[in-house]
Homo-oligomer: A and B are copies of this chain.
Amino acid sequence: MKIAILGYGVVGSGAYEVAKTADNIEVKRVLHRRAVAELGDIVTTDYDDIINDREIELVAECIGGLHPAYEYVAAAIKSGKHVVTPNKNLVAAYWNELHALADQYGVELRFTASAGGGIPWLFNLRRQSRSDEILAISGIVNGTCNYILDTMHNEPVDFTEILAKAQALGYAEKDPTADICGFDTQRKCVISANLAFGLSITEDEVPVFGIQNINAGDIKYFRQHSYTCKLLMNAGLKEYGAYAYVEPTLVGKGALEESVPANNNLISLTGNHIGTLSFYGQGAGKFPTGTSVIQDVLDIESGWGFKAADSKKINVTIDNAIESHRYYVRENGERRITEPMSVAAAHEIAAKSSDDSFFMAGIRE
């Protein structure tokens, strides 16, 4: 199968190098704003060279961001080309539009690398959905936050100090807002929940509380009480509604999440038949993400479809009043453990607090 890769940054170049080693795939074109010595004349700056090339059956969009990624992907689909993308912003923001378009033009749209990076999480979530009822999903999906939290549990450093170190190492962006405030995790939660439960929820339906206010005192308290703090996405489907939220979560000794080091990810599903299945690995990086993109390409090239899982679509809105647990809350310098309360109520308390350094974390029982 002849394909085109859009963008030659970290993920695009990783996907290109992995594709070179795969039989059955030929990268005919790479869209990039300048020449690249090792690519020779397959580079183009003109997207029409790709859209108008009927031999190119699939476009792997590795540009990132919403625009022009959306326009490029939409144009590819309308030209009858399959699309693979690791772009979580795009997939979360245009879930309905992209799926409707792909259905209309009869092409495949795959985005395994958009949540979990190198981990075949979304692929296995779809595969399991075929013969099981997915009840809940949860996981560590942001490597930057996990690196920061893991280091804070191991060394007596404060948040600003370790964030600066993470930026110096390239683990955190210059503007770290999307990671530490949980928006990256929120997008991956939207994508995972939509796929798991046949929903069409959007980012603004998933309340987020990030880790930007956590401090060394919080961590000390958690360690004293044998807890480890991780930023988790959570979503589930109950008889009377669905829940979805992102918040720091205290897990106890022996939890699998406790043992996730550095910038790794761990994501779990709970199914009616299968119980809990968890997937661990590198959630980002040139080769893990590049490989994940090419795996999707190979699936499409091999004709692997997901008919049964795709047929399930339900119309449910998020109601976080249906999910409850205890919380650790630090407000105006005072710490307390609450009685079990709904996620909706806790996130409302956080939003309304007048304390700019307010921090809370859900407690997993």
Chain A residues engaging chain B, CB cutoff 8 angstroms: 18-19, 21-24, 118-120, 123-124, 127-128, 130-132, 254-256, 258-261, 268, 271, 273-282, 285, 287-288, 290-292, 294-295, 298, 302-305, 307-308, 311
Contacts and interface: CB of A to CB of B under 8 A. Distances in A.
A130 to B, nearest CB: 5
B23 A308 contact: yes
A131 B279 contact: no
Contacts of A277: 118-120, 279-281
Contacts of A308: 22-24, 298
A131 B22 contact: yes
Given A23-B308, A302-B305, A281 B290 contact: no
Nearest to A279: B279
A278 B275 contact: no
Nearest to A280: B278
A45 to B, nearest CB: 28
A25 B116 CA distance: 31
B256 A259 contact: yes
Contacts of A282: 274-276
| Residue among A120, A131, A132, A276 facing the most chain B CB atoms (10 A cut-off) | A131
10 contacts: A21-B131, A120-B124, A120-B277, A123-B127, A132-B291, A254-B259, A254-B261, A275-B282, A275-B285, A279-B280
A261 B282 CA distance: 23
Contacts of A132: 18, 291
Nearest to A24: B308
